[in-house]
Structure 1
Amino acid sequence: MKRVNSYSHGGEITRDLASMAFLFILRYATLRELNAPFFISNEEASTNMETVQQAEDDAQYGAAPHLPRLRWTRILAISIFALALNFQWAALGTIILPSQVFKMVGDLDKGTALAFVLIPGAFVSLFSNPLFGWLSDRTRGRLAVWGRRRPYILLGTLASMFCLGWMATAPNVLTLAIAYALTQFVSNAAQAPFHALLPDIVPPEQRGLTSGVISLMLIFGNIGGVLVAGNLINSSLPLASYTQGLWLTYGLIIAVLLVFMLITLIFVRELPVQAHSAEAEQAATGTTRKPWYTLPAMRTLAASLVVALLAWGLITLWNTWRVAGLEISSNFEQVIIEIIITVGILRLFDFRPRRDPDFAWVLATRLIMMLGIYTIQSFLQYYMRDVVHAPHPEQQTTTFLIIVSLTSLLSAFAAGWISDYLGRKRVIYISGALMAVVGVVFVVTQSLQLVIAAGAIFGLGYGAYQSVDWALVADTLPSQKNHARDMGVWNVALSLSQVIAPVLGGPLLDSFARAGHPVLGYQVIFGMSIIYCIAGTITVRFIRGVKG
């Protein structure tokens, strides 16, 4: 008699249950999409079907689709997943990772070690964001029945939850860096398609308003992330108590991601996508779809790798021969190589500044402004410890960020709505000036009270900038057919700023600390943040196609 392998049978049952759960979530989302009285009445649904069909036809034949105006409940549904994403990144970047690194390596090397953890993750984000956006744009066939965005949001979020669990149990800096890089990769599988929902669904006249709502969700995520992490994590506690708070924080992040991912899948209604074959689509549009592995693309990729290898070789020779008695640090070497590869990635995903100058200036503005923001954010907890001498740095950092978030609420929604009428550029001028003022306060004072008060000013500028940033890129996207890819390219600016800010700031802080001048190190890096914010307000002037 044939023996049954019970372990294999159990594995098949588990896989079947997982498949049923996956199909149930997407099937329920689609049924909810076709009959959604929570958002619109049945009469409104039948009225809007003609508009949706026209939008689909326009998109298929290359014209920009006419998008129907959205009710506030649909705008909220499109925006709400941003809360979960920012809950995760605010908790990780501001509280969790700095405290984990400090607990692993101690005080003297914490800046360099933090850069070691952050840089690989940011580098992975450089290519994974446009990659998953590109894949989402090209989703066809049976998978597209569920939409081009929602399958990626589901699978990317589930993978992120697993990787966060790995980060929570990382025993050393190397493992933490690898787990964080993998978290960045799979999270971008959800993030890049989610970002494309704004230009996909929202009409131009409501993008400022929707951008403001997204900013509110980002701010709520900031508040929740730093509030939870700052109160549960305390690096001054014994290791056992610290680990307990750390694991609880990671568990809450996973729960928030799961809940808001399900809300997005169920209530967001994408425009329908026809499951035509590639041949039928080419016959209808009269165009030929080019694969990503075209000869020019391969040449671009190969050239980037060759230049990166040459740069690595030259830096290695420089350090071997000790040219001019100077040695290039490994972190700085990594940034140079990553910038070279970033240029290749941008070219690979059809980023052409001469063809699309407004989009290029939007990327430049975001890169520079986010450098100023991340220079402050990455080292804020260490600043509270080393300069302000706060007894509980995590808690004081949390207090600062909550004040930032609360004042951001005052400016975010209003700035997005006002920018629809007065223009995007004016809002960025004001926001950049406000954030530069905060850098000045950090340079000239060591008072906890003044630093906390400066958080209110920073919040007004940060909220206004975040609000307009989304609307600005939605107004300047170069392609109607590649929203997710182009939004992924836009996010490269964010990822690159996450690479550069800690690499420049971390070794500087450690160098000044070893020389016995830790306060001067913070004054230097916060002085750099002032320059970044001022430069960002200058570059936005060159965006010609957006109302000033």
Structure 2
Amino acid sequence: MTTPSDDFPEGPRPVQPTIPSNLTGVPDSAALGSTLTTADSPFSAAPTSAVSAQPAGKVKVRGRLLKLMLSMSVANLAIFGIWGAVPGILLPLQVQGIVGDDPTAKAGALAVIATIGAFAAMVAQPIAGTVSDRTRSRFGRRAPWMVGGVLIGGLALIGMGVGSTLVQVGIAWVIVQIAYNFAQGPLSAILPDRVPSAVRGTFSALSGLGLMLGALGGQIAGAAFATAIPAGYLVFAGVALVVLVLFVVLNPDRSNRGEPKPPFDFVAFLKTFWVSPVKHPDFFWGFTGRLLLFAGYFMVTGYQLYILQDYIGLKDKAVALVPLLGILSLAGTLISTLIGGPLSDKLGRRKIVVIVAGIILAISLVFPLVMPTVTGMLVFSFVSGLGFGAYQSVDTALMSEVLPSKDDFAKDLGVLNIAATLPQTLAPGLAGLIVVAFGGAYTPLFPIGIVIAIVGAFAVLPIKSVR
């Protein structure tokens, strides 16, 4: 049974629309039906993403949809605050405190820990999505994993704070990666679960804003805990736990205990780690573009502290500059994010925004290359914020429209999120390996990042199902 709501005042729609197996259509309702599946909540986690195709002229972002959008933005802020603070600031400082100030030693140690943690994240995301898609509980299929993930991840962060050896820190970091990815994967599936296609650009913009505010704000807040790393881990863990619990409480899902579970094929699941460019070319190109753009960006920003210390030459004064760089990045991000998503909805185009954003990212990396000074880093921070904010404002909307399966939203988004999580966590390690390979030189990071960002920007061109 369906009922009208403040969010969709035009009234009820058929309960079981026919939905194509590949949600890659244009961003309106031409190819999809639309429905509300329960009177308890207009945003159920129905396997068919029932509200995903409301006509653009009839969808209004208000009421429960507005609450969902704002609270998901805050949830992204809380989780990505951890990804901004820990691998960007606190973990490098902790590693440096264990191995010393030698550039080669600390870069190599960070590379090992970051690489192991990155592969843990890569495996955790699609597993979390697959398990979430098949979960049946009175709280729906996403909430149990979001809450459980931030709880276990928080305990692991506290464990990192008391670690005194690289082995202890590395083991705790792996648990942190797995646990928070088990929260982040189901959270990312909220968009195709509950958000109409016609407003996914606006939704993605605010959601992406939360992501960027978290990642950059995490760097700023992380710098404040530079001399109290265990306390920093405790604060970030506590904030994430409170925010995700509130998200679940404020946006309750319906019970799905009576729903049949989709069949699970272990061999097919293993194959999802390889995205076939033949069977799902749009998904493949979307994954590739995201992977490369994130890698080009986080190769520098994820290694920012050591760059400031050893490339710019600030040494112990480097941490003090991090908040200013973060503020400049936030300013650029706010400008481009608030413009990019709504503009994408108005134009009905996603790819052009992604391409322009990638070019801006590449340009930003030129400044510290030709100006290895504080000024060069300040300009880089603002311009990269413009580029990455514009990209993030439409990326989620574009990705949600190239998912291969209507029954495996969380699993497919989990695979896509590898392309986001892997560069963020692996980039410091990859940058460290490059620095070590070039005898302690930082200069190669920037031209390599420029090439990667440009290739990533144009990787979305072959996508045919999204304009």
Q: Which TM-score band applies after superposition, normalised by the shorter structure? A: 0.7 to 0.9
Aligned partner letter, 2:463? I
Task: Kindly state the Cα deviation for residue 373 of structure 1 after the two structures are TM-superposed.
Answer: 1.0
1:65 matched to which residue of 2?
50
Residue 75 in structure 1 maps to residue 69 in structure 2 = yes
Task: Kindly state the Cα deviation for residue 128 of structure 1 after the two structures are TM-superposed.
Answer: 0.9
Residue 291 in structure 1 maps to residue 218 in structure 2 = no
2:298 matched to which residue of 1?
374
Task: Kindly state the Cα deviation for residue 62 of structure 1 after the two structures are TM-superposed.
Answer: 8.1
Aligned partner letter, 1:225? G
Query: Cα RMSD (Å) of the superposition?
Result: 2.7
1:95 matched to which residue of 2?
89
Which protein has the larger Cα radius of gyration, Structure 1 or Structure 2? Answer: 1
How do residues 107-118 of structure 1 correspond to structure 2 at under 5 angstroms?
A: 107=102, 108-118=104-114
Aligned partner letter, 2:80? N
- Output the CA distance in 2 between the equivalents of 1:277 and 1:505: 46
**For the Cα contact (< 8 Å) 1:232–1:246, is it kept in 2?**
yes
**For the Cα contact (< 8 Å) 2:49–2:192, is it kept in 1?**
no
Task: Kindly state the Cα deviation for residue 413 of structure 1 after the two structures are TM-superposed.
Answer: 2.1
**For the Cα contact (< 8 Å) 2:208–2:393, is it kept in 1?**
yes
**For the Cα contact (< 8 Å) 2:367–2:379, is it kept in 1?**
no
Render the CA deviation track for 1:148-176: whole Å, top value 9, x for unaligned: 11111111111111000001111111211
Task: Kindly state the Cα deviation for residue 438 of structure 1 after the two structures are TM-superposed.
Answer: 1.8
Aligned partner letter, 1:418? L
**For the Cα contact (< 8 Å) 1:226–1:402, is it kept in 2?**
no
- Output the CA distance in 2 between the equivalents of 1:444 and 1:360: 34
How do residues 67-466 of structure 1 correspond to structure 2 at under 5 angstroms?
A: 67=52, 69=59, 70-71=61-62, 72-106=66-100, 107=102, 108-140=104-136, 143=137, 145-233=138-226, 242=227, 245-270=228-253, 273=256, 275-277=258-260, 289-293=262-266, 296-297=267-268, 346-347=273-274, 351-390=275-314, 391-422=316-347, 423-466=349-392
Aligned residues: 429
- Output the CA distance in 1 between the equivalents of 2:339 and 2:135: 36
Residues 468, 271 of structure 1: CA spacing in aligned structure 2 closer, same or farther, 3 A cutoff?
farther
**For the Cα contact (< 8 Å) 1:78–1:268, is it kept in 2?**
no
Aligned partner letter, 1:401? G
Aligned partner letter, 2:201? G
Residues 458, 61 of structure 1: CA spacing in aligned structure 2 closer, same or farther, 3 A cutoff?
closer
Aligned partner letter, 2:287? L
TM-score by length of 2: 0.85
Q: Which runs of 5+ in 2 are unaligned?
A: 17-34, 39-43
How do residues 452-491 of structure 1 correspond to structure 2 at under 5 angstroms?
A: 452-491=378-417
- Output the CA distance in 2 between the equivalents of 1:382 and 1:61: 46
Residues 60, 269 of structure 1: CA spacing in aligned structure 2 closer, same or farther, 3 A cutoff?
closer
1:286 matched to which residue of 2?
none
Residues 494, 216 of structure 1: CA spacing in aligned structure 2 closer, same or farther, 3 A cutoff?
closer
- Output the CA distance in 2 between the equivalents of 1:63 and 1:459: 35
Task: Kindly state the Cα deviation for residue 292 of structure 1 after the two structures are TM-superposed.
Answer: 2.8
**For the Cα contact (< 8 Å) 1:130–1:484, is it kept in 2?**
yes
TM-score by length of 1: 0.73
Aligned partner letter, 1:275? G
**For the Cα contact (< 8 Å) 1:121–1:181, is it kept in 2?**
yes
Render the CA deviation track for 1:376-403: whole Å, top value 9, x for unaligned: 1222111111121224112213321221
**For the Cα contact (< 8 Å) 1:123–1:495, is it kept in 2?**
no
Aligned partner letter, 1:118? A
Aligned partner letter, 1:407? G
- Output the CA distance in 2 between the equivalents of 1:356 and 1:345: 11
Residue 523 in structure 1 maps to residue 443 in structure 2 = yes
**For the Cα contact (< 8 Å) 2:147–2:183, is it kept in 1?**
yes
Task: Kindly state the Cα deviation for residue 46 of structure 1 after the two structures are TM-superposed.
Answer: 11
Residues 499, 460 of structure 1: CA spacing in aligned structure 2 closer, same or farther, 3 A cutoff?
closer
Residues 57, 530 of structure 1: CA spacing in aligned structure 2 closer, same or farther, 3 A cutoff?
same
SS at match of 1:146: coil
Farther-moved stretch of structure 1 (433-442 vs 358-367) = 433-442
Render the CA deviation track for 1:315-371: whole Å, top value 9, x for unaligned: xxxxxxxxxxxxxxxxxxxxxxxxxxxxx5514xxx433121111100000111111
Task: Kindly state the Cα deviation for residue 259 of structure 1 after the two structures are TM-superposed.
Answer: 2.0
Identical aligned pairs, as a percentage? Answer: 29
